[in-house]
């Protein structure tokens, strides 16, 4: 059969090119829509500037209302580290500070999450609960949070209690690290 458009051989490459252009166009549209959907309204929380008028803050030693010795030092250090790394204001002495961040550990508790048998725990989870308050120099509360908590699992050693305590301490340090991050983001996200 005779093709008035120049034969079958010239139509085939044209059709292939049109199909590949349509496919490329569809892929570009789908990719653009995915990027648009994924980026709408999303961004990093927190990380904003210092709270209203507080360009300098002091981080007080966190009060420990639990029997977990040393947890207050770990949490205070983690808060300071987080603020030193990310805070757009300055961390200063209490006398120089426009704001004072204080708080307390209200609970440290652990419970078994996995057992070898009825009497032998294999893994436990520890949770830490804190309250934090940021006040200006006049003593007015600028920001606060109550009952912020986090938890982490740790391994129980059947033969070595000191190893179990060390594992628990490491888990508490991880929880305090996360709480320091969360506190920073919550505080700077509010402003």
pLDDT in tens, 62-92: 999 999 999 999 999 999 998 888 887 788 9
User: In angstroms, rounded to a whole number, what is the distance separating the alpha carbons of residues 25 and 155?
Assistant: 54
The residue among 74, 48, 45, 50 whose CA lies nearest residue 62 is 74
**Angle at which helices 161-189 and 71-86 cross, to 10°:** 40
Closest CA to 157 of 147, 168, 146: 168
Q: How confident is the model at residue 41 (pLDDT cuts 50, 70, 90)?
A: very low
With b meaning 16 or more CB within 10 Å and e meaning fewer, what string describes 37-53?
Answer: eeeeeeeeebeeebbee
- Alpha-carbon distance of 79 to 72, in angstroms, equals 11
Beta carbons within 8 Å of 145's beta carbon, 6+ residues apart: 131, 132, 183, 186
For residues 32 and 151, the model is more confident at: 151
Give the model confidence (pLDDT) of 108-167 as tens digits: 999 999 999 988 999 999 999 999 999 999 999 999 999 999 999 999 999 999 999 999
- Token pair, residue 162, equals 């000191």
Q: Is the pLDDT at 56 greater than 80, yes or no? A: yes
pTM confidence score: 0.72
CB-based burial of residue 60 (10 Å sphere; 0-12 exposed, 13-18 middle, 19+ buried)? middle
| Cα 183 → chain centroid | 9
């Amino acid at each position: 059969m005779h093709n008035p458009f120049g034969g079958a051989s010239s139509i085939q490459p044209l059709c292939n090119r049109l199909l590949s252009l349509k496919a490329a166009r569809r892929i570009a549209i789908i990719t653009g829509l995915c990027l648009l959907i994924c980026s709408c309204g999303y961004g990093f929380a927190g990380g904003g500037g210092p709270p209203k008028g507080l360009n300098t803050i002091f981080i007080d030693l966190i009060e420990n209302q639990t029997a977990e010795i040393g947890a207050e030092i770990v949490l205070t250090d983690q808060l300071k580290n987080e603020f030193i790394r990310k805070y757009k204001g300055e961390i200063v002495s209490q006398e120089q500070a426009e704001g004072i961040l204080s708080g307390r550990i209200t609970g440290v508790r652990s419970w078994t999450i996995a057992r070898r048998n009825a009497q032998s725990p294999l893994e436990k989870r520890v949770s830490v609960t804190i309250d934090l308050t940021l006040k200006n120099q006049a003593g007015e509360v600028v920001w606060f949070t109550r009952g912020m908590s986090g938890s982490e699992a740790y391994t129980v050693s059947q033969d070595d209690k000191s190893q179990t305590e060390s594992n628990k301490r490491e888990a508490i340090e991880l929880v305090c690290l996360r709480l320091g991050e969360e506190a920073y983001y919550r505080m700077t996200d509010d402003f």
